[in-house]
Amino acid sequence: MKTLYLECNMGAAGDMLMAALLGLHDNPNEFLEKLNSTGIPNVVVSAEPSVKCGITGTHIKVTVNGEEEEPDHGHGREHNHEHSHEHHHEPEHSHGSYHNIEHLIGHLKITDNVKKNVLAVYALIAGAESHVHGVPVNQIHFHELGQMDAVADITGVCMLMEELAPDVVFASPVNTGSGHVRCAHGILPVPAPAAAYILRNVPIYSDETKGELCTPTGAALLKHFVKEFRAMPVITVDKIGYGMGKKDFGKANCIRAFMGESNCVNEEVIELVCNLDDMTPESVAFAQQLLFEEGALDVYTTPIGMKKGRTGSSFTCMCRVEDKDKMLRLIFRHTTTLGIREYSSRRYTLRKDQTEVQTKYGAIRFKTSRGFGVEKSKPEYEDLAKIARERNISLQDVLKEINPV
């Protein structure tokens, strides 16, 4: 499985993420030409070598009308909220509403998938700003949303994610930095309120490095693309990219991006278990179906012997950690149990793909799973069943024709 791991020991900013991912690209100059041809108004993006603590990496330079942002209190270029609204070098429409940003993104020369991701990242930022300032999203008129270099950072990262095409993205816990940051509204604590809101449910920490290490844009990009924040899984690393900030600290001010192959998806899952001896099979089946519809990974029963010699069933629901509370409510509502046991497990899964194969009966979907040195493939049951019904033949006859011995 093609795996991307982002090491955020010095936080995350949009330009640093773009630089780190650019270090993984086979043709960085060609990519920059493509980014600069997307139509972001008055913006030119370039890359230059940068050395931090003896390590050479890439610094992304974004100029708007020929001028680059001055260093800020954190990484050095990405000003999400450090300035007042009086930016002399940005076009007037760049300070417009969230609707204007949506309009701009919609007219860029990028794929529909990249547009979808860019807008999703901006939606996270807009939602955070709306919550922090107590105004509806459609009334937001913030520098954060209108800055052209922020548009370039977000668009560049989303384009790189599409071109690098990792199957899964992991990241380390995020260092937020410490201290305070100056913005148009006054002096704010680090992480800034918008970044802190976006980083809910993400493991964060501060090693007391003074400065804003994780900006709202960096936080939103991580929140959108990262599947899990954790220690690095076992990866056979092929490429490493270093995305450098502009400011110097005692530690190398960079994001490291590792790209390589891993065998599996490794995630924490919750098993919710209860014993049932007073439900009909129909009621149990009804509860199972509801849980599946609400996102359960698996639901099954196991025959057990209970008190007073009664036969019963152990009812198990496996779900993702974030779905636990929802599943608990559903189990209590739709079964007769008075108590549920919880078990935490790690789940290892093979990478799953689906392909369509043309046969004498027409197109049949095949499910293929890979990992741990094995590969398994089988046709989709519903496709086989449909053919068997239409032709009045058995499933075995269909299988013989599409899988000759």
Choosing from 226, 261, 296, the residue where a domain stops is: 261
Quote the CA–CA distance of 353 and 357 in Å, as a whole number.
Answer: 13
Contacts of 186 (CB under 8 A, 6+ apart): none
Contacts of 33 (CB under 8 A, 6+ apart): none
Q: Which domain holds residue 375?
A: 351-402
User: What single-letter DSSP state applies at residue 405?
Assistant: -
Choosing from 201, 236, 261, the residue where a domain stops is: 261
Looking at the structure, do residues 227 and 310 belong to the same domain, yes or no?
no
**pTM, rounded to two decimals:** 0.67
Q: For residue 75, name the pLDDT band (cuts at 50, 70, 90).
A: low
Has residue 359 got a pLDDT over 80? yes
Choosing from 300, 315, 347, the residue where a domain stops is: 347
Looking at the structure, do residues 69 and 202 belong to the same domain, yes or no?
yes
Mean pLDDT to the nearest integer, 54-81: 70
Quote the CA–CA distance of 249 and 259 in Å, as a whole number.
Answer: 26
Task: Report the helix count and the strand count for the chain, using DSSP H and E.
Answer: 12, 21
Looking at the structure, do residues 181 and 318 belong to the same domain, yes or no?
no
Closest CA to 327 of 298, 284, 349: 298
Based on the structure, what is the number of domains in the chain?
3
Has residue 190 got a pLDDT over 90? no
Looking at the structure, do residues 180 and 130 belong to the same domain, yes or no?
yes
Has residue 95 got a pLDDT over 70? no
Mean pLDDT to the nearest integer, 111-133: 91
Kindly report the CATH number assigned to the domain that includes residue 341: 3.30.70.1380
Has residue 71 got a pLDDT over 60? no
Element holding 44 (H helix, E strand): strand 43-52
Looking at the structure, do residues 104 and 145 belong to the same domain, yes or no?
yes
Q: For residue 371, name the pLDDT band (cuts at 50, 70, 90).
A: confident
Looking at the structure, do residues 57 and 109 belong to the same domain, yes or no?
yes
More confident residue, 353 or 287: 287
pLDDT of residue 79: 43
Render pLDDT for 206-244 as a digit per residue (tens, 0 to 9).
987 888 899 999 999 999 999 989 989 889 999 999 999
pLDDT of residue 87: 31
Looking at the structure, do residues 185 and 97 belong to the same domain, yes or no?
yes
Supply the DSSP string of 62-131, one letter for each residue. EEETTEEPPP-SSSSS--SSSS-S--TTS-GGGGS-HHHHHHHHHTSSS-HHHHHHHHHHHHHHHHHHHH
Has residue 373 got a pLDDT over 80? no
168-171 and 2-7 as β-strands: parallel, antiparallel, unpaired? parallel
Element holding 217 (H helix, E strand): helix 216-225
3-state secondary structure of 213: coil
Neighbours of 147 (CB within 10 A): 25
Looking at the structure, do residues 244 and 281 belong to the same domain, yes or no?
no
Mean pLDDT is lowest, of 30-39, 67-76, 140-149, for 67-76
Looking at the structure, do residues 25 and 162 belong to the same domain, yes or no?
yes
Quote the CA–CA distance of 43 and 95 in Å, as a whole number.
Answer: 15
Quote the CA–CA distance of 215 and 228 in Å, as a whole number.
Answer: 19
Has residue 76 got a pLDDT over 70? no
Render pLDDT for 157-185 as a digit per residue (tens, 0 to 9).
999 999 999 989 999 999 998 888 776 66
Looking at the structure, do residues 289 and 256 belong to the same domain, yes or no?
no
pLDDT of residue 69: 61
More confident residue, 51 or 403: 51
3-state secondary structure of 15: helix
3-state secondary structure of 268: strand
Looking at the structure, do residues 302 and 229 belong to the same domain, yes or no?
no
Has residue 317 got a pLDDT over 80? yes
Looking at the structure, do residues 215 and 288 belong to the same domain, yes or no?
no
